[in-house]
Amino acid sequence: MKASNLQIHDQIKQNLVDRLEINYLTEIQKQVIPRILKGESTLSLSPSGTGKTLAFLVPAIEYIVTTPVEHNDPMVLIVTPTSELAWQIFTVAKSLTNNLDVPIFLLGGRDNTHKTHPKEDRIELVIGTPGNILTSQTKYGIDYSKTGIIVIDECDMLLDLGFSEEIEAVTGLSKEKNVSVNLFSATLPPEMFGLANKLLKHPVKIEIKHNGFPKGLSHYVYEVQYNEKKDKLLQILSTEAPVLGAGIIFAHSQETSRTLTKLLLREGLDVEELHAGLSKVQRLKALRMFENQEVQLLVATDLAARGIDLPHLTHVINFEVPRNIETYIHRVGRTARMNNKGKAITIVSPKELHLISKIEKETEIKMKILERLPEHIRLTNIEKYKERKKQEKQPLKKRKRSGLNKSWFKNSYKKFNPKQKRKHKKSGRNIQESSYFKSFRKKSSKRN
């Protein structure tokens, strides 16, 4: 379906096509946009990179533009798990509302150049994290009782972070009878069923199924010893430099992120770091520099695995293998978005090989191994233990099959004569008991 065929405000349509360069709608957009425009509540499940942000922003802004109101309170509320994701949605919303009078307020890590103050100006669209939204009532005097559309983005991540009570509190802020509450998620954890039953009245479930990876994404693996990972990272970056538009390097911890950032800076590369150890101002500054292509590389923890949508992002490098399938899907889903091409490169140590096998099995993909370790090094600890036990059992089996065992069996068999009755030696007590019963039988037979 063409974006120009949408039955929405002409300026929104023009911004969608001209500024965001969206000519055709994705499957999730085709199904969600009409539902929210009708005022229905939705539970939308779609993998990363399928266009969920525009799926709720387009009908939300259409609702603001076309619905006449006599108040200055927010009409739409969008809830996100992190300030970085809130900033991403804010930038898309600004492009989509170009030349439209739609005041937007970003709660949590907002741009310092944005001067809109809720006490003085009207607000129609609020974007923020759960904690900042709940405190904004007393801090800024924002009234959400007349909000008509509420969107909970990356709901699975919010539940993982333990925000289930905050989500219920935020959705309870609106006093509108026909408020449209919409949950968006890439995965479907069990907790979401209970949450959806509490929050949504007769929701429409929309699910887009595929293996969770963009079509243009290629998966590559380098197997190295753990102490060789840094050298391999530098080699990969130098090899991929001619085609590297922008890349994110993922690590598990803040310490590893800092170490890699210092290493890359010493090599003369333009790089920024993004993790929870930085302040909101520092994180948003790094994200803006990466978006504006002022730096080519971003070293990040899984904080950046959600919500970052950059068209020029061509590479995702896993310096450390994700510990679960969902994290891998979200990490590599940052690239090859909206029918673009991208590479997911994973540097694997021997202890992480079982994680790669698990990812391949669960997602039904086959990663291309560009560099392979020798077979004796590739064995995991469990495989080494099984191999050692197998070798220990081999001599024992040989002894059992030897002639010595057979001769022992033959000699033992010759000693046994089945025709000869075995004589059981009775103990003293058994002899006494048997004599007692014999005498008792004799007395009883005489009486008879």
Are both 123 and 256 inside the same structural domain?
A: no
Q: Could you report the per-residue pLDDT of 22-73, keeping only the tens digit for each? A: 888 988 999 999 999 999 999 998 877 788 999 999 999 999 999 998 888 9
Least confident of 70-84, 95-109, 429-443: 429-443
Q: Could you report the per-residue pLDDT of 283-305, keeping only the tens digit for each? A: 888 988 998 889 999 999 988 77
User: Which of the listed residues 207, 240, 262 is the one where a domain comes to its end?
Assistant: 207
The pTM score is 0.71
Please answer whether residues 342 and 333 qualify as being in contact, where contact means their C-beta atoms are separated by less than 8 angstroms.
no
Are both 61 and 203 inside the same structural domain?
A: yes
For residue 415, being part of any structural domain is answered with no
For residue 398, being part of any structural domain is answered with no
Q: Could you report the per-residue pLDDT of 256-284, keeping only the tens digit for each? A: 999 999 999 999 999 999 988 888 888 88
Separation of alpha carbons 217 and 211, rounded Å: 12
Query: Interhelix angle for 325-332 vs 353-363, to 10°?
Result: 80
State the CATH number of the domain containing residue 341: 3.40.50.300
Least confident of 20-24, 193-197, 328-332, 425-429: 425-429
Are both 181 and 143 inside the same structural domain?
A: yes
Q: Which pLDDT value is given to residue 427?
A: 53
Q: Considering its fold, how many domains does the chain have in total?
A: 2
At residue 307 the predicted structure's pLDDT band, cuts being 50, 70 and 90, is low
Q: How far is CA 417 from CA 93, 406, 412, 413, 421, in A?
A: 97, 19, 10, 8, 8
Are both 268 and 323 inside the same structural domain?
A: yes
Are both 222 and 345 inside the same structural domain?
A: yes
For residue 303, being part of any structural domain is answered with yes
Q: Which pLDDT value is given to residue 122?
A: 82
Percent of the chain clearing pLDDT 70 (strictly above): 81
Are both 76 and 187 inside the same structural domain?
A: yes
Percent of the chain clearing pLDDT 90 (strictly above): 43
Range of the domain at 254: 217-380
- Cβ-proximal residues to 262 (8 Å cutoff; 6+ apart), any chain: none
Q: Which pLDDT value is given to residue 113?
A: 34
What's the gap between Cα 22 and its chain centre?
Answer: 26
Are both 303 and 198 inside the same structural domain?
A: no
pLDDT of 245 above 90 = no
Q: Which pLDDT value is given to residue 390?
A: 72
Are both 167 and 276 inside the same structural domain?
A: no
User: Which of the listed residues 350, 380, 410 is the one where a domain comes to its end?
Assistant: 380
| pLDDT, mean over the chain | 83
pLDDT of 320 above 50 = yes
For residue 391, being part of any structural domain is answered with no
User: Which of these, 274, 273, 292, 279, lies nearest to 108 by C-alpha position?
Assistant: 279
> Looking at per-residue confidence, does 394 or 104 come out higher?
104
> Looking at per-residue confidence, does 264 or 395 come out higher?
264
For residue 199, being part of any structural domain is answered with yes
Are both 39 and 129 inside the same structural domain?
A: yes
User: Which of the listed residues 380, 406, 431 is the one where a domain comes to its end?
Assistant: 380
For residue 422, being part of any structural domain is answered with no
Q: Could you report the per-residue pLDDT of 330-372, keeping only the tens digit for each? A: 888 888 877 788 999 999 998 898 899 889 988 888 999 999 9
Are both 230 and 311 inside the same structural domain?
A: yes
Separation of alpha carbons 250 and 319, rounded Å: 6
Are both 239 and 169 inside the same structural domain?
A: no
For residue 388, being part of any structural domain is answered with no
For residue 436, being part of any structural domain is answered with no
Are both 357 and 250 inside the same structural domain?
A: yes
Q: Which pLDDT value is given to residue 329?
A: 85
What's the gap between Cα 127 and its chain centre?
Answer: 22
